């Protein structure tokens, strides 16, 4: 499977989880939820996606 075709759903899914929980979930919890859904990615990758989506970090 092409890497880009895997990244898109992970990015959108992580943004959806973040927004569904009103911005209260950070990369560790989002990573655990994505693992439960069958995605294989690291906490660092999720945090990079969050920064690229301009999700506020640390309640700033």
Chain segment 6-45, per-residue pLDDT in tens: 677 888 899 899 999 998 999 999 999 999 999 889 999 9
Domain ranges of the chain: 3-52
Q: What is the pTM of this model?
A: 0.77
How far is residue 53's CA from residue 60's CA, in Å, rounded to a whole number?
15
pLDDT above 50 (res 60): no
pLDDT at 56: 56
Residue 4 pLDDT more than 60? no
Rounded-to-integer distance, Cα 23 and Cα 26, Å: 8
**Residue 45 carries which DSSP code?**
H
């Amino acid at each position: 499977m092409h890497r880009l075709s895997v990244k898109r759903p992970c990015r959108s899914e992580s943004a959806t989880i973040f927004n569904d929980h009103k911005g209260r979930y950070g990369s560790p919890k989002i990573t655990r939820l994505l693992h439960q859904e069958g995605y294989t990615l690291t906490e660092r990758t999720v945090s990079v996606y969050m920064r690229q989506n301009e999700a506020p970090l640390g309640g700033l």
